[in-house]
Structures are given as C-alpha cells and as structure tokens.
Amino acid sequence: MKPAAQRLSRIRCARALTPEGWCEHCVIQVDASGRITAVVKDDSLSVDLSLTGTVIPGLPNLHSHAHQRAIAGLTEHKLAGYDDFWGWRELMYRANARLGPDELQAVARYLYSQMLQSGYTAVAEFHYLHHDPAGNRYADPAELSARLLEAASEAGIAITLLPVLYCRGGFNGQAVQGVQQRFFCLPEHYLELVQACALHCADDPNRAFGFAAHSLRAVAPEVLTRTLQDAGDLASGVPVHIHVAEQRKEVLECQALNGRTPIAWLHEACPVDENWCLVHATHADPNELRAIVKSDATVGLCPTTEANLGDGIFPTEQFMIDGGHFGIGSDSQICTAPTEELKLLEYTQRLTLQRRTVLVKDDEGSVGRSLVEFALAGGSRAMGKATCGLVAGARADFLELDNSQVDLAALSPDQVLDSWIFAGQGIAVHNVIVGGRHVVVDGVHSLLEVAARPFQQVVATLNEA
C-alpha cells in the first residue's frame, strides 16, 4: 500500500515563507535525498510543479500516540467515576488491550494520511505499546515499532520514532498492573528495543529515532539517566522526550513523596538539554519555566488533548517572553489539524489573560505567522532537526494554501495565515510535499480512502459491547 507519490526536483512558488520573510516567484530546488539545495529567484528554470497559492513550511507534530486515534470521540459519554484524566486513562487502557500489530498499523496508516492532508509533514511517535496484550514480548521485540514505521512510509509522512521506557507503576515504585504489562520494559530490554528501532530507521531519510521515558511516575530519574548513559553513542544528539507535570494530581503526589515537583526533580536528576522535549509541563511555576529555558529544552504542547482531558493551561506567554522553545502535537488524536492546536493555544492564553493577540514575538505582527514559526522551530528541535524551513539543508517539507478560495482572495500572505488558523472553516491545504515527494495533490491524499476501511473495522471491533 505504498503511495505513488511523485518525486520533485524543482517547485516554483508564487509566494513562500522563508526565514528571511515572504519570497515571491521563487524556485525550491530539491536533491535526491529530499533536502532543499537552494531557494532561488530565476524565471528561466524549468520546474516539475508550480504552486500559485501561499506556500509555508510543513508543520511538525511533536507528540503523537497513534493507537489512540481508534478511540477518538468514544470517551465523551459520562460514566460514574470516569470524569477526569485518570478515568479516561482506564477507558484508553481497555482499548489498548485489544490492539494487535495489524490493527495498530491500520490505525496509524489512516491517521498519518489524515495528518498529511491537514498540514503536518512530520510526526514524533511517542510509542509505548511494545508487547502483546498479555505482556509477552513478540519474537521481534520491535514488531509494533516496525508497524508504525511501515505505516508512516505507506502514508508518506516523515517520522521520528520514540520508543518509550516504562518500568514501574507509580512514584512509589510499585509494579505495573494489567494492560500496563504491554508497556513494561527493563532498561536492558529497552536498549535492545531502541537498537532495533535504529536499524529499522537506517538509510531512510524519512525515518529517525530517539529516546523517551513515559513519565517520572513510570521511570525513576536515576534509572532514566543511567539508561541514557548505558546507550552510549546511540543516545548522542538524538531527541529525548518525557511527559511531565501534565496533571495537578501527579504534581502533588510527586511533591508529597519526593519533596519536589516533577519538573524540578527532572532538572535536578537528569541531563536535560537542547535535545529534550518536555511534553505538556502544564503546571510549571515561574521558577520551573526559567529552569526549562536555562536547560534549552523544548516544551511540547497539545492544546486540544490538554483541553479534552482537563489538564490545565500552560503559561505560554510567559514562557515565550522568557525565551522558551515550544511546538505542538496531536497527542490523543481527537484533532489531527495543526490549525486547531495553534488556534486553541492562542485562545487559552487570551481567556487566561483577558487580552488579544498574545503569542506574537515582537510588539506587533501577525499572530498566525508567529504561531507557525514557533511550531516549526520548536517541533523541528524536538525531532532533532537542526535546520528547518524553506532553506538550503532543510528537508523539503512544505504545503500550499489555495489563494483562489473565497476566504483567502485578495489577502496578504500574513493575512492568509491568520485566516487559515483563526477563520479557516473550509480552508483546506491544497498540496503537500514531504522530502520532495508530492503526497497530497489538490487537497486529497491518495491513500486516505483505501486506508479508511481497515481503520473502520478496528474501531468497530473496539466499540463492541
């Protein structure tokens, strides 16, 4: 089920967002590995594709749990005792217990095609389903990881696979229970898993890998530090992701048992640096915000999931003022559109602060453009990409918005971004290029319809009484 995506070497853009600003009538040149070699203004060059709309870099999705797409929308019926994050987690666990390799691949294939059609061009897959439903290791310990990589290849999205270390059931060090056996890994088995994932990613420019710890509930910080040390060169310069301070209950429990909050404990006990992504960090206090900025880590924000689960609101404006890096992710997959994440990120700040146009880098400017640039830079850092955007050396990942649509006609480029994010009903992504391959054509991903049927079968099975 591989996509028949055309490889492009030269793409002409009527207007494109580069690090220097908007560039009109430029040509993006791409090499055989899918990287940009140059962005030039030359009307004489022959091209493979001409884009007449507004072209922007593709947006990275820095936090995804692919398997949760199968239950998106199925946990909104209130049940006694299931009105918070922890209740939702039990419902999610029930669904997890019924997913095998074929089912996971079917869900991920459909999800990744949706992401591409919405404007994401890369995904960081925070993957913790390692074993069979009984907690037994597969003959290939990386069986489920390989299925996610294959699904990404089928859809045509770039993927950074983050196998997750999960070796205890809580801050007290209790054993994992029930379906958590699917997640459990001894550190030595986890390193074997990461090594296998690295081999699956080798020689494929659309694949990369990194390390992840589920949370400090699931991994003691000294165990995480030792595991990264034991990984040696394998851990050099690659991303390290962790859930932290997502729920108030988690923060209070950590503080009661360990005398410090999760973010403070993490910085005290682990080598947090620019390679790290702290996912959620919802309940960071001012001192912790400054600690994150000082460590140069990225914060991964997932506004639609954080709202859906009642997590809380990260103090993004203050973090931005302090000089912090942040990006966006789809997390539980209740939304697969980056525009909705960006809009809700801005709107929660407006509601909290009772002001407008909050997340703008300078004293004035387009909120939409600022959000896109933050998401691009932060998401790329979280995936270990030193160079990003429409510039030589970066991956050729970009998308086109169709200026011929009524809502975008006669608008400036910045206004197009503002309208796409904040007034985007019916404004669709028109074309998407990933690594130089044309994966969404005229608003349609060719795999989506084919992938829908197997996905529907998985959902029907999970939804059986």
**Residue 209 main-chain phi, psi, to 5 deg:** -135, 165
List pLDDT tens digits, range 368-411: 999 999 999 999 999 999 899 999 999 999 999 998 888 888 89
pTM for this entry:
0.97
- Please list, in sequence order, all residues whose beta carbon lies within 8 angstroms of the beta carbon of residue 422, skipping any fewer than 6 positions away: 343, 346, 367, 368
pLDDT at position 395 is 98
Instruction: Decide if 120 contacts 398 (C-beta within 8 A).
Output: no
Query: What mean pLDDT do residues 349-362 have?
Result: 96
Of 67, 130, 200, 280, catalytic? 280
Q: How confident is the model at residue 238 (pLDDT cuts 50, 70, 90)?
A: very high
Of 127, 200, 331, 414, catalytic? 331
List pLDDT tens digits, range 423-456: 987 788 999 999 999 999 999 999 999 999 999 9
Q: How confident is the model at residue 78 (pLDDT cuts 50, 70, 90)?
A: confident
Helix or strand run (H / E) with residue 120: strand 120-127
Helices and strands, number each (H, E), in the chain: 14, 18
DSSP per position, 45-62: ---SEEEEEEEEEPEEEE
Q: Which residues are paired to 242 by β-bridges? A: 213, 278
Question: Higher confidence at residue 375 or residue 362?
Answer: 375
**31 CB-side CA count, 13 A:** 11
pLDDT at position 213 is 98
DSSP per position, 285-310: -HHHHHHHHHHTPEEEE-HHHHHHTT
**Of 163, 160, 165, 164, which Cα lies nearest the Cα of 124?**
160
d(CA 380, CA 73): 29
Query: What mean pLDDT do residues 150-163 have?
Result: 98
Instruction: Decide if 39 contacts 29 (C-beta within 8 A).
Output: yes
Residue 273 bears catalytic tag? no
- CATH number given to 6-57+389-449: 2.30.40.10
Judged against a pLDDT cut of 70, whether residue 2 lies above it is answered with no
Residue 445 bears catalytic tag? no
Domains of the chain, by residue range, sit at: 6-57+389-449
Judged against a pLDDT cut of 80, whether residue 96 lies above it is answered with no
Residues in the chain: 465
Burial 299-318 (b: 16+ CB within 10 A, else e): bbbbbbbbbbbebbbbbbbe
